[in-house]
Amino acid sequence: MKQLPGTVPGGAGDTAGIRRSLSLHAPLRRTPHRLLRAMLDALPEDGLPEDPVAELERRMCALLGTEAALLFPTGTMAQQVALRIHADRRGRRAFAAHPQTHLEVWEEQGYAVMHGLRFRPVGDRHRLLETADLAGVAEPLAALLLELPQRDVGGRLPAWDDLLAQVSWARGHGAAVHLDGARLWEAQPFYGRPHAEIAALFDTVYVSLYKGLEGIRGAILASDARTVGEAAVWRQRLGGALDDAWPLAAAALVGLDTVAPRMSAFRDHAVAIAAALREDGAVHVVPDPPQTPLFHVHVPAGPEATEAAAREMLREHGVQLYLRLRTAPHDGQCSFEVCVGENAMEFTPDEVAALLRELVHRARGTYPLQL
């Protein structure tokens, strides 16, 4: 698996022996049998293969308040197509986004190789993109891409007025505004506004069907009917028009009904876990308090030692603490992501604090803890 620069492949992410996990996408709830059973329970026996796709696109239109929505096999394809459309319409090839945008970090510069687009990073890679950062952008842009929340800085979100200001800046400079809403479900409780009110700020909206919704794979691109019509042409050109996409849609429909309504509870549990970790003091949480169910845990130990300690704990306790570690600029530190979902809800905040205290002590060679 390709690793984000500055990450360490996680032996603690190995699946053997996992009985409980803090990770949202641990295999515990993602076995084929479990997923298929949930999908079949939600589908009518006399339904057609195209029905789940049509139903998903209809529901996404209603939820996001758009004229049309289109299922894509991947978010990578959906976002590149959206930016290509904005670029072609405006005769501009550049788009701006945070330096840690998924398109730059994970996609092998597909935006350039496939679509001839140019990326203009904006802001500091270690902090939230701010309106003031946009003042340094001099070249005409096809689009401004905003990620809500910004995963790689701890799931942070701009205040509503700051978000409005960034959108206004883009509009004033003739650029479209695209939402990387892969985790829009997680972001919505922070704003306390309907999904449609958030989506209405943007020309195009991408949402993931497998991250927060815990589906199989896939994405939705939502916008006005003309834009979605153009996107459908690009989807066909890129080989993304699947004849039998119903499993992706069916799993997403299950997530909309069973997981999306719990995002506020997940966020509240993340806040409670962060408070317990703050009181314990063994690790540091970013941001504190979390704004979404997603936050980062910073460990005062090196990645190799932390990885070895996490492997030991998995073998002894059957508990998986993370999927992968992130390295840090300074020796003797590392971090990992926690995204609270059904798996993490099984842990009390005090239990998480105790586990991470044990992780630190094992990594530092001071375990068992001295009472």
**Cis-peptide, bond into residue 289, ω within 30° of zero:** yes
State how far the Cα of 25 lies from the Cα of 210, in Å rounded to an integer.
9
Every domain of the chain and the residues it spans: 7-29+261-363, 50-243
> Residue type at 68?
A
The per-residue pLDDT for 43 is 87
User: How high is the pLDDT of residue 33?
Assistant: 83
pLDDT given for residue 265 in this prediction: 98
270: which 2 tokens? Answer: 């993340």
Task: State the burial class of residue 279 (Cβ atoms within 10 Å of its Cβ: 0-12, 13-18, 19+).
Answer: exposed
**Helix, strand, coil percent values for the chain (each to nearest 5):** 45, 15, 35
DSSP string, 190-251: HHTS-HHHHHTT-SEEEEESSSTT--SS-EEEEE-HHHHHHHHHHHHHTT---TT-HHHHHH
Res 14: pLDDT: 56
**pLDDT at res. 40:** 85
- Please identify which residue in the block is written with the tokens 């998986």: 320
Distance CA 77, CA 106 (A): 12
Looking at residue 1, what is its pLDDT?
A: 32
- pLDDT confidence of residue 329: 85
CB 363 within 8 A of CB 12: no
Q: Domain 7-29+261-363 carries which CATH code?
A: 3.90.1150.10
Q: Which residues are bridge partners to 339 per DSSP?
A: 294
Domain 50-243 class, CATH top level: alpha beta
How much is the pLDDT for 7?
60
Both tokens of 337, joined, read: 């992501």
Mean pLDDT by 10 residues, the chain (371 residues): 49 70 89 85 88 97 98 98 98 98 97 98 96 96 98 97 98 98 98 98 98 95 98 98 95 96 98 98 98 98 97 97 92 96 97 98 87 46
Write 52-59 long-range contacts (CB < 8 A, 24+): 52/246, 52/249, 52/250, 52/253, 53/245, 53/246, 53/249, 55/249, 55/253, 56/220, 56/249, 56/252, 56/253, 57/220, 59/253, 59/256
Q: Could you tell me the pTM of the whole model?
A: 0.94
Question: How remote is the C-alpha of 135 from its chain's centroid?
Answer: 27
Residues 6+ apart with CB under 8 A from 9: 1, 3, 324
CA distances in angstroms from 363 to 276, 366, 369, listed in the order given: 20, 8, 12
The CA distance from 288 to 277, in Å, is 10
Q: How far is CA 161 from CA 15, 168, 241, 314, in A?
A: 43, 10, 38, 44
Q: Which of 235, 205, 232 lies closest to 220 in space, CA to CA?
A: 205
Beta bridge partners of 319: 20
**Long-range contacts, 159-162 (Cβ 8 Å, 24+):** 160/191, 160/193, 162/130, 162/131
Contacts of 144 (CB under 8 A, 6+ apart): 95, 96, 97, 134, 166, 167, 169, 170, 175, 176, 177, 178
Q: Residue 34: what pLDDT? A: 84
Strand 334-339 to 324-327 pairing: antiparallel
What is residue 6's predicted lDDT score, i.e. its pLDDT? 60
